[in-house]
């Protein structure tokens, strides 16, 4: 609604009854003045105007009465007057058997009321239409390849499933999943604790296997079995795989950062104790305003006044008429003070060290833990730092 007037428009649907279409605003329409600005086309004649906004997704079409300042309800016929609509021919989707995953089932088109039935890979045949990415794909023969007469004469029944696929399509990317593959294949059987479901995956590339181990580790899944198969020989690698899924040091670092995010006061205590040992915070350390005179002892009074004059109040910001933010003057009635990058005084009521809550601070705390009593005073935090130290030693 705009100024109390209900907005009325049509929207162009790029897909209608499964057919893809495009609509392009016409440059000229007899009897109408056409203007185009930043993707908005207007066609006017007398008091009536038509507006096509190509920036909207999907495209919108409106009708406006300039004499009344009101939107009218446009019709489909009016819309077709101002656009060219073209139908995009549907692409024919095909796939070869060698491109399919032999470990999963497929929905095959049929004449049943449901329209499809489920079939295993080994039950598929040339001419079947299967669902892939919401489209039916027809299974076709693999492109013919050059082969010697001796190869053509080979009895397919004597070949392994892997050899049969490679014979039809030497460039197959999935044949390694079939029995008879002569290379190495890594298998993992794992369980997802949240839902109790178990899954089995396998890879012919060690980097893909390692990546899956990392995924299992990050999600807290449980490996039940793992093995590597080479030329039909199976080697159990369950213990190695389980060891690889144990949390790494970086995982505990992230847990500690998250814990500090949820417990700001504990982080403030820890970072200040770290700062008390090695000056980690530098001039950003928040100090009680009550001891300002002690901290500035020996400073010339004029210099002290100058630092306060050129300082500011971190809790009092205003925005001027030009959109520029300006801070209020230094306020000695605040709880804390600290120094900015120029050595001038900044007042505040809050200890905000959130910018320091990162892996560098956590690592520094771990290395200087004996000087940070607040870690030991919190059982959860102490346990996280214990786990971090153990994981660091094992890496």
Task: For residue range 167-189, list pLDDT tens digits in order.
Answer: 766 766 666 666 667 788 888 88
Secondary structure (DSSP) of 327-381: EEPP-TTSSEEEE-TTS-EEEESS---GGG-SHHHHHHHHHTGGG-HHHHT-HHH
Q: Do the beta carbons of residue 33 and residue 44 sit within 8 Å? A: yes
pLDDT at residue 304 tops 80: yes
- Residue-level pLDDT at 273: 94
Predicted local distance difference test score (pLDDT) of residue 174: 65
- For the cut 90, the answer to whether the pLDDT of residue 309 exceeds it is yes
Closest CA to 388 of 205, 241, 254: 254
* pLDDT band (50, 70, 90) for residue 194: confident
Copy the structure tokens of residue 275: 């700062």
Q: Determine the average pLDDT of the residues in 312-333.
A: 88
Domain range list for the chain: 9-88, 94-140, 184-246, 251-389
For 81-91, b/e burial (b = at least 16 CB within 10 A) is ebbeeeeeeee
pLDDT for 200: 83
User: In terms of residues, how long is the chain?
Assistant: 395
pLDDT at 146 over 60: no
Tokens of 82: 């101002």
Cis check: omega of the bond before 58, within 30 degrees of 0 = yes
62-71 residue pLDDT tens: 988 888 888 8
Within its chain, how far is the Cα of 77 from the centroid? 43
| CB 244 within 8 Å of CB 206 | no
> Which is higher by pLDDT, 294 or 143?
294
pLDDT bucket at 134, cuts 50 / 70 / 90? confident
Sign of CA pseudo-dihedral 390, 392, 393, 394:
positive
pLDDT single digits (tens) 40-54: 999 999 899 999 998
What are the tokens at 260? 């500090």
380 conformational bin, left if phi > 0, alpha if psi -120 to 50, beta if neither: alpha
In the predicted model, is pLDDT for residue 196 greater than 80? no
Rounded distance between C-alpha atoms, residue 383 and residue 227, angstroms:
34
Mean pLDDT of 221-232: 85
Torsion sign, CA atoms 174, 179, 181, 183: positive
**What's the average model confidence in pLDDT over 11-23?**
76
What is the pTM (predicted TM-score) of this model? 0.41
Give the bridge partners for 59, in sequence order: none
304 phi, psi to nearest 5 deg: -60, -45
In this predicted structure, what is the pLDDT of residue 387?
A: 87
Of 7-11, 241-245, 255-259, 306-310, give the lowest mean pLDDT range. 7-11
């Amino acid at each position: 609604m705009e100024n109390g007037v209900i907005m009325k428009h049509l929207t162009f649907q790029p897909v209608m009854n499964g057919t893809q279409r495009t609509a392009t605003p016409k440059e000229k329409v007899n009897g109408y003045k056409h203007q185009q600005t930043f993707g908005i086309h207007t066609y006017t004649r007398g008091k009536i105007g038509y507006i096509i906004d190509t920036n909207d997704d999907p495209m919108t079409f409106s009708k406006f009465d300039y004499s009344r300042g009101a939107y009218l309800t446009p019709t489909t016929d009016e819309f077709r007057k101002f656009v060219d609509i073209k139908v995009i021919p549907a692409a024919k989707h095909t796939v070869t058997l060698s491109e399919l995953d032999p470990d999963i089932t497929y929905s095959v088109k049929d004449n049943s009321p449901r329209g499809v039935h489920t079939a295993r890979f080994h039950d598929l045949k040339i001419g079947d239409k299967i669902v892939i990415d919401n489209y039916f794909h027809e299974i076709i023969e693999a492109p013919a390849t050059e082969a010697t007469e001796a190869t053509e004469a080979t009895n397919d029944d004597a070949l392994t499933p892997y050899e049969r696929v490679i014979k039809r399509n030497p460039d197959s990317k999935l044949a390694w999943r079939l029995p008879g593959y002569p290379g190495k294949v890594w298998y993992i059987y794992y369980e997802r604790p949240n839902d109790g479901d178990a899954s089995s995956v396998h890879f012919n590339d060690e980097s893909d296997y390692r990546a899956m181990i990392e995924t299992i580790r990050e999600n807290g899944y449980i490996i039940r079995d793992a093995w590597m198969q080479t030329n039909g020989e199976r080697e159990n690698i369950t213990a190695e795989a389980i060891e690889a899924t144990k949390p790494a040091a970086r995982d505990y670092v992230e847990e500690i950062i998250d814990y500090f995010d949820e417990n700001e006061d504990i982080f403030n205590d820890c970072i200040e104790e770290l700062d008390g040992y090695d000056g980690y915070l530098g001039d950003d350390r928040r100090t009680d305003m009550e001891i300002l005179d002690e901290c500035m002892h020996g400073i010339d009074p004029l210099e002290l006044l100058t630092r306060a004059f050129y300082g500011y109040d971190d809790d009092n910001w205003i925005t001027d008429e030009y959109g520029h933010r300006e801070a209020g003057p230094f306020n000695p009635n605040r709880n804390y003070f600290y120094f900015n990058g120029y050595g001038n005084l900044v007042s505040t009521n809050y200890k905000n060290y959130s910018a320091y809550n990162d892996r560098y601070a956590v690592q520094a705390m771990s290395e200087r833990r004996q000087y940070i009593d607040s870690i030991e005073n919190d059982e959860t935090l102490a346990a996280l730092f214990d786990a971090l130290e153990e994981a660091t030693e094992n890496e």
